[in-house]
Chains A and B, each alone.
Chain A
Amino acid sequence: MTGEVLAEVPPPRPRRRWPLLGLLGGGIVFFWLAMAVLGGLVAPHDGGRIVDMDVFTPMTAAFPLGTDYLGRDMLSRILHGTRYTVGVALAATLFASGCGLVLGMAAATRGGWTDMALSRFLDTLSAMPSKMFALVVVAAFGSSVPVLVLASGIIYTPGAYRIARSLAVGIDAMDYVRVARARGEGTAYILREEILPNMTGPVLADFGLRFVFIVLLLSGLSFLGLGVQPPNADWGSLVRENIGGLAEGAPAVLMPALAIASLTIGVNLLIDNLGAFRRRGGEGA
């Protein structure tokens, strides 16, 4: 939900922190990023092949995460699905944060009319709950990877814009920016050399947060059967197709859900650590 941007005013994190948790988060995120690229190669089986006569088998040595509702190897299916969950969300986040950053900096430095028009337009976009926007888009255009990337990218652009704009407005008022302007530097130089480097930390943290929102949104859509379409499957679709195994507590339904949880919690832990890093850097705020 785009309201999350407003609602999710980062709560004061506990002062005492364990750098270990940040490392753990980084490790989890790195692992899933690697699996997004290599998942298909390291998977023990072909994700689509039926390898076991039994369905919803518990964890065994042959099938470490059990088998799914057709008797396919769950580990392989999760590894194959990583590409969709991580890849689509990453593309959408890059889109949202990229657009937000560019538009936000443009609004902050140009001010006046540009700022007004952009802010009003993006506010309208965020007047719709994110799931609702996604459902409407999927109803209109059907569900495909490009539609999912664009839809979730557009949904989370206003939030990224608002953060980038307020950061850039703050930095734009700094003395060193005024000095650079008095020196006669052009707008492009000021944006690239003075403003952008000073907002990296918060923008990266926002990137991570937005990635989490998008992963949750896309898995929710897939869970409803409106996200990544068969024969491809992301983790949300894996939970959906194996929901029948819930009554038996089959790992086939729990494991993909846990994979999503590990990814989002991992990113959150990593962001926490980025925050500590940022404070050490004397960014203030």
Chain B
Amino acid sequence: MKSNALLRMVAARLALGLLSLLLVSLAVFAITALLPGDTAQEQLGQAATPEAVAALRLQLGLDQPGWLRYLRWLGGLASGDAGRSLVNGQPVAALIGARLPNSLLLAAATAVVSVPLALAIGISAAMWRGTAYDRGVSMLTLSVVSVPEFLVATAAVLVFAVHLRWLSALSYVSSIDSFAQFIRVFAMPVLSLCCVIVAQMVRMTRAALIDQLRAPYVEMAVLKGAGPIRVVWSHALPNAVGPIANAVALSLSYLLGGVIIVETIFNYPGIAKLMVDGVSTRDMPLVQACAMIFCAAYLFLVLAADLCAILSNPRLRHR
């Protein structure tokens, strides 16, 4: 009975997520394909004859009404056919397929490093809140989240590649043969991404745990004579798991913004670099497909954050 209601709630969230994705696809298509005017004219330039423009328009299917083009585009995406690049004529799916694993590897490596690190710092800062350590952590994380990602990345290059010469400033994934090379290639991008993600995650983890530590039951535990470590580990932390998981998922969604900058700086052959190149050459099919991948990943992480919050909070479960 109870698990049934829970299942229904999760299903409702999933459906809501899918609906959001559908609306996002509508927005992406409207912005890129419907609003800017005539793609055929733009592609051929002002000097093109009206006949040539009309022919290209027919070829691109631009003579059809907008909603039909949208449905066709959406159907193509769903079946893995995102059209052909306007720049080099290759199928967009193949271009993305070649780059996506690199980006996923980068994201996975970043998550593996940043999540434990952020949890350790965030929880310890909450335990020793108000101390010099906590204030230092707060100050540092606040400065990292309030400067642009590229500043963090360039500072990391300056320190680790230029001054200390530990790592190389560029990364090429093609040349990985050993674990040592893997470290050398990934260290700089992962390090820069981690700085941004860890700062976010520490702030949110700390806030979530402190929220629990202010609750009456913690005061009760303290009055009973439980030591600070016992209060945090056996009383507050189990109750903060939900909010912290929520914070972790939300912070990981910052990966999507950070990765755009980091892949560009380090010339990393991932999907974000592909999209930025697509934007500068105004390669619409490529931009549309990349945007949908990023938005889907974003919605997935937000959904995961929501589900963590639901599943771990009995009050939300029974609402």
CB contact between A132 and one of B135, B250, B294 (< 8 Å): that residue: B294
In angstroms, Cα B282 to Cα A247, docked, is 31
B interface, over-half SS: helix
Q: Is B104 an interface residue (CB 8 A)?
A: no
Chain A residues within an 8 Å CB radius of B268: none
Interface size on B, residues (CB 8 A): 60
CB contact between A12 and one of B149, B207, B287 (< 8 Å): that residue: B207
B7 to chain A, nearest CB (A): 24
Q: Which of B113-151 contact A (CB under 8 A)?
A: 130, 135, 138, 142-143, 146-151
Q: Is A137 an interface residue (CB 8 A)?
A: yes
Chain B residues within an 8 Å CB radius of A131: 256-257, 260
CB contact between B147 and one of A6, A136, A223, A260 (< 8 Å): that residue: A260
Q: Is A128 an interface residue (CB 8 A)?
A: yes
A58 to chain B, nearest CB (A): 14
In angstroms, Cα B149 to Cα A220, docked, is 8
Q: Is B23 an interface residue (CB 8 A)?
A: yes
Contact A225 B31 (CB under 8 A): no
Q: Which of A202-249 contact B (CB under 8 A)?
A: 212, 216, 219-220, 223-226, 236, 239, 243, 246-247, 249
Question: With A128-B27, A246-B154, A249-B158 known to touch, is A3 a contact of B253 (CB < 8 Å)?
Answer: yes
Q: Is A264 an interface residue (CB 8 A)?
A: yes
Contact B260 A11 (CB under 8 A): no
Chain A residues within an 8 Å CB radius of B96: none
Contact A141 B36 (CB under 8 A): yes
Contact B36 A140 (CB under 8 A): yes
Chain B residues within an 8 Å CB radius of A138: 279
Contact A124 B24 (CB under 8 A): yes
Most buried by A among B151, B157, B207: B151
Contact B295 A132 (CB under 8 A): yes
Contact B253 A1 (CB under 8 A): yes
Chain A residues within an 8 Å CB radius of B70: none
Contact B295 A127 (CB under 8 A): yes
Question: With A12-B207, A127-B24, A249-B162 known to touch, is A212 a contact of B31 (CB < 8 Å)?
Answer: no
Chain A residue nearest to B275 in the complex (CB): A135
Contact A12 B210 (CB under 8 A): yes
In angstroms, Cα B278 to Cα A129, docked, is 18
Chain A residues within an 8 Å CB radius of B253: 1, 3, 129
Chain B residues within an 8 Å CB radius of A136: 28, 31-32, 287-288, 291
Contact A124 B295 (CB under 8 A): no
B192 to chain A, nearest CB (A): 13
Chain A residues within an 8 Å CB radius of B298: 3, 127-129, 132
A125 to chain B, nearest CB (A): 8
Contact string, A9-25, partner B, CB cutoff 8 A, digits 1/0?
10110100000000000
Chain A residues within an 8 Å CB radius of B35: 140-141
Contact B32 A224 (CB under 8 A): no
B269 to chain A, nearest CB (A): 16
Q: Is A257 an interface residue (CB 8 A)?
A: yes
Q: Is B251 an interface residue (CB 8 A)?
A: yes
Contact string, A134-149, partner B, CB cutoff 8 A, digits 1/0?
0111111110000000
In angstroms, Cα B250 to Cα A32, docked, is 33
Q: Is B93 an interface residue (CB 8 A)?
A: no
Q: Is A35 an interface residue (CB 8 A)?
A: no
Chain B residue nearest to A10 in the complex (CB): B207
Q: Is A82 an interface residue (CB 8 A)?
A: no
Q: Is B40 an interface residue (CB 8 A)?
A: no
Question: Contacts A127-B23, A127-B24, A268-B146 given; 13 further ones with Cβ under 8 A?
Answer: A1-B254, A3-B250, A7-B200, A129-B253, A132-B298, A135-B276, A139-B287, A140-B31, A141-B36, A239-B154, A246-B154, A247-B169, A265-B147
6 example contacts (A-B, Cβ-Cβ < 8 A) are as follows A3-B254, A7-B251, A11-B206, A131-B256, A224-B276, A261-B143
- Interface residue ranges, B against A (CB under 8 Å): 20-21, 23-24, 27-28, 31-32, 35-36, 130, 135, 138, 142-143, 146-151, 154, 157-158, 162-163, 169, 200, 203-204, 206-207, 210, 247, 250-251, 253-254, 256-257, 260-261, 264-265, 275-276, 278-280, 282-284, 287-288, 291, 294-295, 298-299, 302
Task: For the complex of A and B, list the 4 residue pairs with the smallest distance between their C-beta atoms, beginning with the closest.
Answer: A139-B279, A261-B147, A139-B287, A127-B20
